[in-house]
Chains A and B, each alone.
Chain A
C-alpha cells in the first residue's frame, strides 16, 4: 500500500525543488547526501532521485499535545535537508499550529478537510503526549480535549510519527508522579503504525531523515521493539563515542573542570548515560555535527530512553543505579529481565581498566565491550 497520495492537483518534489532554482546537479548532490546519511550506499542515490521526481507531496498534520515545542525547534534546525526544503518541497505541511498562517476556525477547518480529502493517505505527526486526567481537559485545542483530536486524526492516518520522548514515552510530564496522566501516543492508537522518534528533542537530521526515508522508499523504516527506527537507534552512544578510548584506558573526569575535563577524558564517573542510551548523537552529532553533549564536556542524560527522568540523580554513575530497563540489545527489552545493567557497566569498566594494567598501555577503541 502506498503511503503517498495521488491527486492530479499535486506536483512532484523534484519539480518544486527545480522551481526553487535548485539545478539538476544540486538536486542529485542532495540525493546522494541523503543516501549516505541513510546508509543506502551508492545505488540509494538513484532511488531517492527517482522517488523525488515522480511522487507528489504527502499531506502532513502535525499536532501538539503536552510538550515544550523543542521537537519543532529541532526540526527547523535540520541542515540536510533544510527545513524549508522539507516544508515547501517534500511534504505538504497542511496543519502545524506552530507555523501555520491560519488560526481559530480557519485552522480547524483544515483538519476536517485533510481527513475528508486524504483519508488513509496522510501522515500524522504528533509532538507531545495526551493527558488523560480530568477527562482530558488539561490540554484543549480548538475547544476540544487533545485526546479527541488525536483519536479522530489517528483513525484515518496512513502512519503516525511520534516525535520526541514526550510522544514516544511520556518524557518529563510523565515523570513521577505524572500529575496529568500524560500518556504516550502508541498506548492510545490501534490499527495505525506508530513510529517512535525519541530524544529530548530528537536530532534534527534524524527527524528529517526518517521522514525522507518514508517518502523515498514508500515504506516505514524497520523498527525495534520500542518502535524506534533501527537505522538511527540501533546502537549505543557509548559504542561510537569518540571518548571511548579514554573509558577503555581508565581515564576519567573525576570532577567538573578538573585536569581530566580539560583533556577530554571519559565522563562515565560524572553519570554519563552513554553506555545505556540508544541514539545517534555520537555519530551524526548535533546542529550540523558541531558537537554533542559529551563533546562539550556534559555527560549524556539518556534523553531518548524511556523513563530517563526517573533514573536520577543524573550525576550518579550508572553502577549506583537501580531498575535499569534497557538490555544490551534494543530488541531484548523486558522490564522483568532488567538485571542490574549498572553493575554490568561497572564490570565492563573494571575489565577495561584491568586490561590497561595488564598491557601497560592504552587499549584501542576496537573493544566491542557489550556491558552484559
Chain B
C-alpha cells in the first residue's frame, strides 16, 4: 500500500491556468523543489453555475432536462441519474425495453466519450504533431499494419496525411496546435508513431459523429438527447401501419450497423494505438498513481434486468476499495448518511457548522468566495490561492471519511477484484501485451489504458445489448414507458430518491426530495467532484492533488507532465462545480482577506 507524501509548499510556486483540453475551467497550482519535482499540488475548480438551486420548485418530471445541462460532454448521463432518482423516489418500475435502450445510450456514450478523450483531449500530451513531419510514410504503413488490420494504412495514405500537416504547419497558422509543447523532451514516440496517431486523430474526429447517431435514433438529438421519467420517449412499432413514425426495423438496423462499426473502430484503431503509444511511455507507470492504489469507488452500472439494482445484475459492479486492500470490497449505499458526505472547509461555500460533512439529502451550498492570507488578487488577476483556507468551487466529497478515485480505472479494478471474468480477461490481456504487472495500473499510464480497455468492453457490450433489445422485441414486448405514476396525483405527499450512475468519468449520484409534487431539494455529487476535490476538514488532499505529488518535471514553465496526469482523469469541471444551495441565499460580496 502506498503512503502519500505530505504536501510541502516551500519550493517554487508554478501556476497553470487554464488547464486546457478538459470540460470546464480548472486551475492547478504546484510547488516544485530545486530538482523540479512536484512537492505540493493544489486543484482549483474555477467556475460555478448554480443548477441545483435552479432545480428547486420544478416539476420532478422536468428535472432530467435541467440536470442534463450539468454537462454536454458526458451528455445524457446526468439525465439518467436524474430519472433514476425520481423513479426511486416514486417507486416507478420501467419496462425491460427502456432499461435496454438506456443501457445502449450509456454504452454508446462510453465508447464515444472515451474515444474523443483519448484522441482529442489527451493524445497531444503524448503525440508530437510536428515530429510527424519527419516520419517515413512507408515505415508508418509498416508500423500500422503490424499492429492492426485497419484498412487505412497504405504508404500513400500516410503520405497524404503528412503533406496535409506540412502544408498546415507551413501556413504559419497553427490553429489549435499553436504554442503547443512540440519538441519537449517528454515526447518519446518515434516520428512514424506520431504520424499514425495524427492520422487517427482526424479519423476519430470524423467517426465520433457517427457513433452518436444511436442517441439520435432513441433521443432525437445529440448532444442532449431527450428522455422521460418511466422509460424512454421513443415508442416501438415494427409490425404495423405507422411503424415509420416509431422505432422500426430501419431504425434498429441503423443502430446495429453503428454498433458494429463502433466495435470495429475501437478494436482496430483505438486499442492498438493505445497499446502502441503506451509501450513507449512505460516510465509513466511510476507517476500519477495518487489514490488509485488505495481508495477506489464505483456505484455500479448497466443493470441487465430492469429495476434490479443487486450487484450481480450490474455489468460493472458496485463497491469501494479502501487502503489498497483488493481482497475486501466495501458495500456502497447512496442513502446511508455515514457513507457519502461533502465537506466545504477548503471550498468556496459555507456550512452552518464547518468541519462537519453533510449527506446529499441534507446538502447545502452557500457561496463564500474568499481567499486565505497567502492568496492574492491584484486588481482583477488572481495571483495565487491559499490552500490552507478556501480555494476551490469544488466541494470535498468523502466515502467513510476517505478521498476516493472514481472513473474507468476504479471500475476495472473493482471488477477485477470482484472476480468478473470479462474484466479480468480484458485487463490481463493488456498487461501481458505491455509486459507490466497489475500494479502498473495504479499510475497515469494505467488510468489512460483503463479507459481504452473500458471503451473496448463497452463497444462489445453495445453490440450484445442491441441484440438483446431486438430479441426482447421479437418475444413480443414492445413497451417502452410506464405511465401509471405519470400524474402527480398518484404520488405521495413527500418522497426521497437517490439515482446512481457510472458516468464515463466515474461515480455519479443525484439526490431528490419531492414535496407536494415539486422538487424541495436536489443535490448532485459527480465524478469530477470526487477526483478534483480539494483538501478536507482533516487536511486529506484530493485525488488530482495526490496524483501529481512526486512527479519530476523537465521544465516547469512547459507543464506537459501536469497535463498528462490531470488529463488521465478526463476532468469535467462543469459537472464538478454546478452547485448551489437549496434555499437560494443571497450572494455575498467578494472578500479578499
Which residues of A line the B interface, CB within 8 A? 9-11, 15-16, 19-21, 57, 59, 64, 66-74, 76-79, 82-84, 87-88, 91-94, 96-110, 131, 133-145, 148, 171-173, 175-182, 200-201, 204, 243, 255-257, 261-265, 281, 286-288, 290-299, 301, 303, 309, 312-315
Interface centre among B70, B166, B574 (most CB of A within 10 A): B574
Contact of A98 among B17, B20, B51 (CB under 8 A): B20
On chain A, the residues within 8 Å of B72 by CB distance are: 67-74, 201
Given that A73-B73, A291-B220, A298-B233 are known contacts, is A257 also in contact with B209, CB under 8 Å in the complex?
Answer: no
Least CB distance, A312 to chain B, in whole angstroms:
5
Cβ of A138 and Cβ of B245 under 8 Å apart?
Answer: no
Given that A179-B580, A201-B223 are known contacts, is A261 also in contact with B246, CB under 8 Å in the complex?
Answer: yes
Alpha-carbon separation in the docked complex, A106 to B244 (Å): 53
On chain A, the residues within 8 Å of B145 by CB distance are: none
Given contacts A82-B209, A134-B587, A256-B480, 20 further A-B contacts (CB under 8 A): A69-B72, A69-B73, A70-B71, A77-B223, A101-B177, A104-B559, A135-B589, A138-B393, A144-B381, A172-B49, A179-B53, A257-B483, A262-B245, A263-B242, A265-B245, A287-B213, A287-B216, A291-B217, A293-B219, A296-B216
On chain B, the residues within 8 Å of A133 by CB distance are: 587
On chain B, the residues within 8 Å of A314 by CB distance are: 59, 61-62, 65
Within residues 242 to 286 of chain B, which ones have a CB less than 8 A from any CB in chain A? 242-246, 254
Least CB distance, B204 to chain A, in whole angstroms:
10
Contact of A172 among B51, B179, B228, B557 (CB under 8 A): B51
Given that A286-B216, A287-B222 are known contacts, is A100 also in contact with B50, CB under 8 Å in the complex?
Answer: no
Cβ of B178 and Cβ of A142 under 8 Å apart?
Answer: no
Nearest CB in chain A to that of B116: its residue? A76
Cβ of A77 and Cβ of B66 under 8 Å apart?
Answer: no
On chain B, the residues within 8 Å of A295 by CB distance are: 220, 245
Interface membership of B369, Cβ < 8 A: yes
Cβ of B27 and Cβ of A200 under 8 Å apart?
Answer: no
Contact of A145 among B170, B202, B212, B380 (CB under 8 A): B380
Alpha-carbon separation in the docked complex, A87 to B170 (Å): 16
Cβ of B168 and Cβ of A298 under 8 Å apart?
Answer: no
Cβ of A20 and Cβ of B160 under 8 Å apart?
Answer: yes
Nearest CB in chain A to that of B78: its residue? A68
Alpha-carbon separation in the docked complex, A15 to B236 (Å): 48
Cβ of B69 and Cβ of A256 under 8 Å apart?
Answer: no
Given that A73-B72, A141-B46, A256-B481 are known contacts, is A101 also in contact with B124, CB under 8 Å in the complex?
Answer: yes
**17 pairs, A vs B, C-beta closer than 8 Å:** A68-B72, A70-B223, A82-B205, A87-B176, A94-B175, A97-B22, A103-B16, A133-B587, A143-B381, A182-B49, A255-B486, A262-B245, A265-B245, A291-B220, A296-B226, A297-B246, A298-B226
Cβ of A99 and Cβ of B62 under 8 Å apart?
Answer: no
On chain A, the residues within 8 Å of B143 by CB distance are: none
Cβ of B245 and Cβ of A243 under 8 Å apart?
Answer: yes
Alpha-carbon separation in the docked complex, A148 to B62 (Å): 35
On chain A, the residues within 8 Å of B557 by CB distance are: 105
Nearest CB in chain A to that of B567: its residue? A103
Cβ of B20 and Cβ of A263 under 8 Å apart?
Answer: no
Contact of B61 among A19, A20, A102, A315 (CB under 8 A): A315
Given that A137-B590, A262-B246 are known contacts, is A100 also in contact with B584, CB under 8 Å in the complex?
Answer: no
Closest 8 CB pairs of A and B: A264-B245, A70-B72, A101-B180, A293-B220, A298-B226, A263-B242, A179-B50, A19-B167
Nearest CB in chain B to that of A286: its residue? B221
Cβ of B62 and Cβ of A313 under 8 Å apart?
Answer: yes
Nearest CB in chain A to that of B575: its residue? A68
Least CB distance, B250 to chain A, in whole angstroms:
11
Least CB distance, B338 to chain A, in whole angstroms:
30
On chain A, the residues within 8 Å of B129 by CB distance are: 101
Contact of B237 among A107, A179, A263 (CB under 8 A): A263
Contact of B47 among A66, A93, A287, A293 (CB under 8 A): A66
Cβ of B178 and Cβ of A9 under 8 Å apart?
Answer: no
Nearest CB in chain A to that of B227: its residue? A298
Cβ of A139 and Cβ of B25 under 8 Å apart?
Answer: yes
Alpha-carbon separation in the docked complex, A312 to B66 (Å): 11
Contact of A297 among B49, B235, B381, B383 (CB under 8 A): B235
Cβ of A257 and Cβ of B231 under 8 Å apart?
Answer: yes
Alpha-carbon separation in the docked complex, A255 to B490 (Å): 15
Contact bitstring B574-588, A, C-beta under 8 A = 1, else 0: 100000100010011
Contact bitstring B304-317, A, C-beta under 8 A = 1, else 0: 00000000000000
Nearest CB in chain A to that of B572: its residue? A69
Cβ of A287 and Cβ of B17 under 8 Å apart?
Answer: no
Least CB distance, A320 to chain B, in whole angstroms:
13
Cβ of B230 and Cβ of A21 under 8 Å apart?
Answer: no
Within residues 503 to 552 of chain B, which ones have a CB less than 8 A from any CB in chain A? none
On chain A, the residues within 8 Å of B181 by CB distance are: 101-102, 106
Which residues of B line the A interface, CB within 8 A? 15-25, 27, 46-51, 53-54, 58-59, 61-62, 65-66, 69-73, 75, 116, 120-121, 124, 129, 160, 163-164, 166-168, 170-181, 202, 205-206, 208-209, 212-213, 215-228, 230-231, 233-237, 240-246, 254, 367, 369, 380-383, 393, 478-481, 483, 486, 557-559, 563, 574, 580, 584, 587-590
Interface centre among B23, B181, B486, B558 (most CB of A within 10 A): B23
On chain B, the residues within 8 Å of A78 by CB distance are: 209
Contact of A102 among B20, B69, B225 (CB under 8 A): B20
Contact of A296 among B23, B234, B574 (CB under 8 A): B234
On chain B, the residues within 8 Å of A173 by CB distance are: 49-51, 54
Contact of B221 among A182, A257, A293 (CB under 8 A): A293
Cβ of B483 and Cβ of A134 under 8 Å apart?
Answer: no
Least CB distance, B160 to chain A, in whole angstroms:
4
On chain B, the residues within 8 Å of A107 by CB distance are: 18, 20, 179
Cβ of A69 and Cβ of B486 under 8 Å apart?
Answer: no
Contact of A74 among B17, B168, B223, B240 (CB under 8 A): B223
Cβ of A104 and Cβ of B16 under 8 Å apart?
Answer: yes
Cβ of A106 and Cβ of B223 under 8 Å apart?
Answer: no
Given that A77-B212, A88-B168, A290-B217 are known contacts, is A172 also in contact with B206, CB under 8 Å in the complex?
Answer: no
On chain B, the residues within 8 Å of A94 by CB distance are: 173-176, 178
Cβ of A142 and Cβ of B17 under 8 Å apart?
Answer: yes
Least CB distance, A108 to chain B, in whole angstroms:
8
Cβ of A256 and Cβ of B486 under 8 Å apart?
Answer: yes
Cβ of B226 and Cβ of A102 under 8 Å apart?
Answer: no
Contact of A106 among B73, B558, B587 (CB under 8 A): B558
Alpha-carbon separation in the docked complex, A101 to B126 (Å): 11
On chain A, the residues within 8 Å of B160 by CB distance are: 20-21
Nearest CB in chain B to that of A143: its residue? B382
On chain B, the residues within 8 Å of A265 by CB distance are: 245
Cβ of B380 and Cβ of A84 under 8 Å apart?
Answer: no
Cβ of B558 and Cβ of A9 under 8 Å apart?
Answer: no
Cβ of B16 and Cβ of A76 under 8 Å apart?
Answer: no
Alpha-carbon separation in the docked complex, A314 to B66 (Å): 11
Given that A98-B23, A103-B20, A103-B563 are known contacts, is A19 also in contact with B224, CB under 8 Å in the complex?
Answer: no
Interface centre among B16, B175, B242, B589 (most CB of A within 10 A): B175
On chain A, the residues within 8 Å of B382 by CB distance are: 140, 143-144
Cβ of B481 and Cβ of A257 under 8 Å apart?
Answer: yes
Contact of A20 among B17, B164, B234, B563 (CB under 8 A): B164
Least CB distance, B173 to chain A, in whole angstroms:
4
Interface centre among B177, B224, B559 (most CB of A within 10 A): B224
On chain A, the residues within 8 Å of B66 by CB distance are: 172, 175, 309
Given that A68-B70, A180-B50 are known contacts, is A293 also in contact with B124, CB under 8 Å in the complex?
Answer: no
Cβ of B46 and Cβ of A103 under 8 Å apart?
Answer: no
Alpha-carbon separation in the docked complex, A64 to B15 (Å): 20
Nearest CB in chain A to that of B226: its residue? A298
On chain B, the residues within 8 Å of A136 by CB distance are: 380
Nearest CB in chain A to that of B488: its residue? A313
On chain B, the residues within 8 Å of A131 by CB distance are: 48
